[in-house]
Amino acid sequence: MKKLYVVGIGPGAYEKMTIEAAEALKNSDVIIGYTVYVDLVKEHFAGKEFLTTPMKKEVERCKMAFEEAMKGKTVSMICSGDAGVYGMAGLMYEVGMNYPEVELSIIAGVTAATGGAAVLGAPLIHDFCLISLSDLLTPWEKIETRLLDAAHGDFVICLYNPSSKKRHDYLQKACDLMLKYKSEETVCGIVENIGRDGESEKVMTLKELRDTQVDMFTTVFIGNSQTKNINGKMVTPRGYKNV
């Protein structure tokens, strides 16, 4: 049985990659991924063969990985964060149905939710959900429903892909929806370039977040009704007594 790794490389910095992920890449002959992600790891894995495809060529990228594995090479398909969280793991299994001779091994990584949470403080200590604001693969109407349901349920909400050139007002629209159930004073936070050069964070209220400009490299955190600002850090209590 031929082996193909699907590897979450974490937020970007080599130090934030798991040991298991680094070992998989060291043991690979070929490393395949979206151009930006390959550029993040290239310097740490000299001597490997690197293959890339641009954005929106995900299916072709998966097929490329399986074809290389069929040649007898050890292959790693890399994703930022965790391969199983808005990553390539699911698509690899779907495409892999046509390559029964190849066994997939999924290597977990640090996703933006947990990487960004560590920068902000401790926003995800109680129930939370992840919602992507990208409507490239999900209709906006469905995203709206998820935002409303999560806000109504008083979840801490972590937003991926909050804005782009074509979706410059999506975070504002999302905040307006959540304000139907959340207070304007709800503690929120943003982290830019998690684990990469230029990393920065800011804690603010939901009212302030609504008018904040972000980009695709920003991860957004909206607290629940109990989330606090403790010395500039975003903290959601678990509910321990006698604190």
**What was the pLDDT predicted at 240?**
85
Residues in contact with 170: Cβ distance below 8 Å, sequence separation at least 6, in sequence order: 133, 135, 162, 163, 164
In the predicted model, is pLDDT for residue 119 greater than 80?
yes
Helices 170-178 and 140-152: crossing angle in degrees, nearest 10, is 40
- How many whole angstroms from its chain centre is CA 170? 18
Exposure letters 76-106 (e unless 16+ CB within 10 A, then b): bbbbbbbbbbbbbbeebeebbeebeebebeb
Bridge-based pairing of strands 102-107 and 2-8 is: parallel
Taking the C-alpha atoms of residue 28 and residue 17, their distance in angstroms, rounded to an integer, is 16
H helix intervals, the chain: 19-26, 35-41, 58-70, 89-96, 112-120, 140-152, 170-178, 206-210
Q: Which tokens go with 226? A: 């109990």
In the predicted model, is pLDDT for residue 2 greater than 90?
no
pLDDT in tens, 54-70: 888 999 999 999 999 99
Report the 10 Å Cβ neighbour count for 40. 21
pLDDT in tens, 134-160: 998 899 999 999 999 999 999 999 999
Could you tell me if 152 and 129 are in contact, meaning their C-beta atoms sit under 8 angstroms apart?
A: no
Rounded to two decimals, what is the model's pTM? 0.93
pLDDT in tens, 9-35: 998 889 999 999 999 999 999 999 999
**How confident is the model over 113-137, as a mean pLDDT?**
96
**Region(s) of the chain under CATH 3.40.1010.10:** 2-107
Exposure letters 20-30 (e unless 16+ CB within 10 A, then b): ebbebbeebeb
**Region(s) of the chain under CATH 3.30.950.10:** 112-235
Share of the chain above pLDDT 70, in %: 100
- pLDDT-derived band at 215 (thresholds 50, 70, 90) equals very high
- Assigned CATH for 2-107: 3.40.1010.10
pLDDT in tens, 166-206: 888 999 999 999 999 999 999 999 999 998 889 999 999 99
**CATH architecture classification, 112-235:** 2-Layer Sandwich (3.30)
**What was the pLDDT predicted at 1?**
73
